[in-house]
Amino acid sequence: MVSSDGLQPDQREQVQKAIAVLEQHGFNRETFIFKHLTVFRGTDNWWNGYIGHHEAYAATNFPFEVVTLYPEFFSVPIDYTERAAVLLHEAQHLMGSGEEAALGATWRSKRRLGWTLDRYKQTRLWYATEQLTKAQFPYMFKCGSDGQSDCF
Ligand SMILES: [Zn+2]
């Protein structure tokens, strides 16, 4: 179902499992886009990734619905929930959102996805995403008794 000729068989399986996590948690629109409208491709060319997008894991060419997955997509996330979080971000781009909106939407949806502070606060992906999101949306981190905690 996933068009991913540019990926190795084991990479394709990892993408399918990450999409399955999205599906299990009711992200139906995103699941549909990934299953039917998106071409995945892999690349070892970090330089293209570096200049094309500041993110280290994946990049999306809108409106062509091509998602390029960098080696870090397969190596850095600790499980399929984290890979699903990366895909959830890319799905926002596939629907036309810019970087800021993609960060905000992913951060607000992370609990629904099961990507939560108690389980993932030690991971590289969590830390990097939190830093990026905090820089864009300081007001989303002014909750809790200390007034400095994540509101979502
Ligand atoms: Zn992005």
How far is it, in rounded angstroms, from Cα 101 to Cα 55?
A: 14
Q: How confident is the model at residue 77 (pLDDT cuts 50, 70, 90)?
A: very high
Q: Which residue has the higher pLDDT, 2 or 118?
A: 118
Cα of 145 from ligand 1 centre, angstroms: 31
Least confident of 50-59, 81-90, 106-115: 50-59
- Please state whether the peptide bond connecting residue 63 to the residue before it is cis, i.e. omega within 30 degrees of 0: yes
Q: Which pLDDT score, from 0 to 100, does residue 61 have? A: 75
DSSP structure string for 90-114:
HHHHHTT--HHHHHHHHHHHHHHHT
Q: Which pLDDT score, from 0 to 100, does residue 55 have? A: 62
Cα of 88 from ligand 1 centre, angstroms: 10
- pLDDT for 103 beyond 90: yes
From the list 22, 2, 23, the residue with the least C-alpha distance to 12 is 2
Which segment, 5-14, 57-66, 91-100, 106-115, is predicted with the most confidence on average?
106-115
- pLDDT for 68 beyond 60: yes
Global pTM? 0.88
How far is it, in rounded angstroms, from Cα 97 to Cα 140?
A: 19
How far is it, in rounded angstroms, from Cα 35 to Cα 146?
A: 42
Cα of 116 from ligand 1 centre, angstroms: 20
CATH architecture group of domain 9-141? 2-Layer Sandwich (3.30)
Q: How confident is the model at residue 151 (pLDDT cuts 50, 70, 90)?
A: very high
Report yes or no: 111 and 152 within 8 Å, Cβ to Cβ: yes
Q: What is the pLDDT of residues 21-63, one digit of tens each?
A: 999 999 999 999 999 999 898 876 655 544 444 466 887 777 7
Largest CA distance in the chain: 50
Residues with CB under 5 A from ligand 1 (ion): 99, 102
Report yes or no: 112 and 49 within 8 Å, Cβ to Cβ: no
Cα of 149 from ligand 1 centre, angstroms: 23
E strands present in 50-95 = 58-61, 66-69
How far is it, in rounded angstroms, from Cα 18 to Cα 38?
A: 14
